[in-house]
């Protein structure tokens, strides 16, 4: 049984208090703030990327046996945390989960293209050029289809303005 964890902000410092233990994190050391929505048994939260690891601030237990709604004080606290972090650490990145980012699609296309070259090369070495060319052309076609998505993807997908948190993200 762990004691209740409470969070508060004081002059650019995030204070985590768990029972008698108190931990202070200066917000000017935060490199990334990632918001996570509540999904199933996972609680909504904010994950702070620090120079030495990460710190999770959750609306309830990070993983509970039953889904519980976030308390009404959690979303305003995370909004205040994002604003204070933006002021204290101007180089920090503010991210939210994204379905597909440009880097992911381009990375998949590069892997498919290199796989097509490898299949074609190994098939040529084995003397099976006809089947190697067929397999490589199928893989190259899928890579071209993946690259066709790039114009519709936003470069800033998965990022948010700390002064305007997307509505409904934190419950």
Regarding whether 114 and 59 lie in a shared domain, the answer is: no
What CA–CA distance (Å, rounded) separates 95 from 135? 38
| Cβ-based neighbour number of residue 22 at 10 Å | 10
Tens of pLDDT, residues 10-35: 888 988 888 888 889 899 999 988 88
Contact 32, 95 (CB under 8 A): yes
Residues 6 or more apart whose Cβ sits within 8 Å of residue 85: 27, 30, 33, 48, 92, 94, 162
Regarding whether 78 and 143 lie in a shared domain, the answer is: no
Helix (H) or strand (E) holding 103: helix 102-126
Whether 26 and 15 have beta carbons less than 8 Å apart is answered as: no
φ, ψ of residue 115 to 5 degrees: the values are -65, -40
Based on the fold, state whether residues 10 and 75 are members of the same structural domain.
yes
- Domain with 145 in it: 102-152
User: Does residue 44 fall inside a structural domain?
Assistant: yes
Asked whether the whole model's pTM tops 0.95, one would answer no
Number of domains in the chain: 2
Residues 76 and 118 in one domain: no
Could you read off the pLDDT of 46-102 as tens digits, one per residue? 888 888 888 888 776 554 444 455 566 777 888 888 889 888 888 888 887 766 677
Residue 145 within any structural domain of the chain:
yes
Q: Which two three-digit tokens encode residue 48?
A: 């702070």
Same domain, 80 and 145: no
pLDDT in tens, 113-168: 999 999 999 999 999 999 999 999 999 999 999 999 888 776 666 677 777 776 66
Instruction: Please check whether residues 85 and 127 belong to one and the same domain.
Output: no
> Do 24 and 80 reside in the same domain of the chain?
yes
Q: How many C-beta neighbours within 10 Å does residue 111 have?
A: 13
Are residues 46 and 13 both part of a single domain? yes
């Amino acid at each position: 049984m762990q004691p209740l964890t409470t969070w508060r902000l004081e002059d650019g410092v995030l204070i985590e208090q768990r029972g008698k233990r108190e931990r202070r994190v200066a917000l000017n050391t935060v490199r990334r703030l990632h918001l996570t929505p509540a999904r199933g048994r996972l609680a909504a939260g904010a994950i702070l990327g620090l120079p030495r690891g990460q710190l999770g601030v959750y609306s309830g237990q990070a993983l509970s046996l039953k889904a519980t709604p976030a308390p009404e004080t959690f979303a305003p606290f995370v909004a205040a945390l994002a604003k204070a972090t933006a002021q204290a650490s101007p180089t920090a990145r503010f991210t939210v989960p994204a379905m597909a980012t440009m880097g992911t699609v381009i990375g998949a296309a590069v892997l498919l293209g290199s796989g097509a070259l490898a299949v074609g090369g190994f098939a040529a070495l084995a003397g099976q050029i006809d089947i190697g060319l067929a397999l490589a052309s199928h893989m190259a076609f899928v890579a071209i289809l993946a690259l066709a998505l790039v114009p519709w993807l936003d470069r800033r997908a998965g990022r948010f303005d700390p002064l305007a948190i997307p509505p409904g993200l934190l419950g």
